[in-house]
Amino acid sequence: MSAAVLLIAAPSSGSGKTTITAGLAWLYRRQGKRVKVFKCGPDFLDPLLLGFASGAPVDNLDLWLVGEDLCRQMLAEAARDYDVVLIESVMGLFDGEPSTADLAVKFGLPVLAVIDAGAMAQTFGALAFGLAHYRADLPFYGVLANKVAGERHAQMLQEACPAAQWQGWVGRGEPLPERHLGIVQPHEVADLPARLDQLADMLASQPIAQLPAPTALSALAAAPIPPLLAGRRIAVAQDAAFCFIYPANLACLRALGAEVVTFSPLAHEALPACDAVWLPGGYPELHAQALAAHPSIAADLAAHLAVGRPIWAECGGMLALAEALTLSDGQEQPMWGLLPAQGQMQTRLAALGAQQIDLGSGALRGHTFHYSTLQTTLTPEGYATPCRLGSSGEAVYRHGYLRASYLHVWFAANPVGTAALFGAQV
């Protein structure tokens, strides 16, 4: 199986990787190609934009979180089903353990480096040279200059790097709006199609418009997932307040045999009849008043728990279940009150990083990223182990049949442990 593949990386965050990846996806899609995009590392917001641009769900690739075997399998399936596979890096190309460069080397993925050239000229060539040669085994494809002032500036940049590496340039564009967790969601940008058209028009005249030769990608047959959730119905909150959902997590639940139904607490939909509930993360703090005004959700969830049916709540889902949430402006908003806890929004990042926890059915891997804190009298059921020294492990709280944590779990890394979260006897 093969497809045209590009891994879009950069020297650092803020270089324009997401914007360029979205523009390329839009461009190749306009050319009539079927485009699949992946995002390296744990991320929920960039994939929403990239999914809008590509027209297909965006999955995550990470050698630690996802695992080498599943990364290989997803890449091979993408090469089978799509003409173009784009992969957006996380942070800088060589940042992290494992890094995006490790992923590129492992699977032979051609790397396109996006460099913010807005404040440089000939030094662009030195930076491009360093990215290309820092690792001898890196399949480096070329460089794209971003935030360029104009034709003359672009000429200086092009002359500074080897001709074979030059893949073109784009000018300074209006950045997408952001908030405390990252870029806003696509539905919040009214002129998003026009912005993508403008970016695709710029890219269409550059060498990068012509894709590299196909990359061969293959994988062994995946081990079957035991149907531990067969016959169970899992209700998943999904709307603008609960939007931090890996598509692979839903696929894992279905592979375990579960029927997955979604509902919108923000639209005041009632809890569907179900055997278990997943309240994922998102932005409850932006919709706290509307969520609190839901006429039945607190009673629905309480009745669900009263008959011994589990709830798994992650980050924002946990905050929605708290007794109250103090917003960034100091206003205290009563919430659903099923978890004896109070949440507090703050302006600085409270936690960030990869973590894992074993609740008795093997390690559950995930990550944490939040701007809030939680105060509770509950004794944690356990603490996650951070991958980097110096950070704190997130607590997992248990209150009857309710489990809650700031940890966002990647279900497919441990389907058995995931099934246990949703009530399976394993």
Q: What is the pLDDT of residues 10-64, one digit of tens each?
A: 999 989 999 999 999 999 999 999 999 999 998 888 999 999 999 999 999 999 9
Percent of residues in the chain assigned helix, strand, coil, to nearest 5:
30, 30, 40
Residue 250 to residues 188, 275, 321, 345: CA-CA distances in angstroms?
24, 16, 22, 28
Distance of alpha carbon 145 from alpha carbon 123, whole angstroms:
12
343 has which bridge partners?
325, 374
Residue spans of the chain under pLDDT 50? none
CA angle 414, 39, 149 (to 5 degrees): 165
Find out whether the peptide bond into 212 is cis, omega within 30 degrees of 0: no
Residue 178 has a pLDDT of 67
Q: What is the DSSP string of 323-365?
A: EEEE-TTS-EEE----EEEEEEE-SS--EEEEEEEESSSSEEE
- Check residue 153 and give its pLDDT: 97
Q: SS3 of 183, please?
A: strand
Question: What's the Cα-to-Cα distance from 197 to each of 47, 158, 188, rounded to whole Å?
Answer: 19, 25, 17
User: Phi and psi at residue 362, in whole multiples of 5°?
Assistant: 95, 165
Catalytic site residues?
315
pTM of the model: 0.92
Task: Say whether 233-421 and 2-216 share the same fold.
Answer: yes
**Residues with Cβ within 8 Å of residue 408, at least 6 apart in sequence:** 42, 44, 244, 280, 281, 314, 315, 366, 367, 368, 369
- In angstroms and rounded to an integer, the radius of gyration of the C-alpha atoms of the chain is 22
Of the candidates 253, 246, 305, 304, the residue with the CA atom closest to the CA atom of residue 420: 253
Strands (DSSP E) found in 132-192: 140-148, 166-171, 178-179, 182-183
pLDDT at 80: 95
* Beta carbons of 319 and 284 less than 8 angstroms apart: yes
For 2-216, CATH gives 3.40.50.300
Hey, how many other C-beta atoms are within 10 angstroms of the C-beta on 120?
Answer: 17
Q: What is the pLDDT of residue 181?
A: 60
Q: Spell out the domain ranges in the chain.
A: 2-216, 233-421
Give the CATH number of domain 233-421: 3.40.50.880
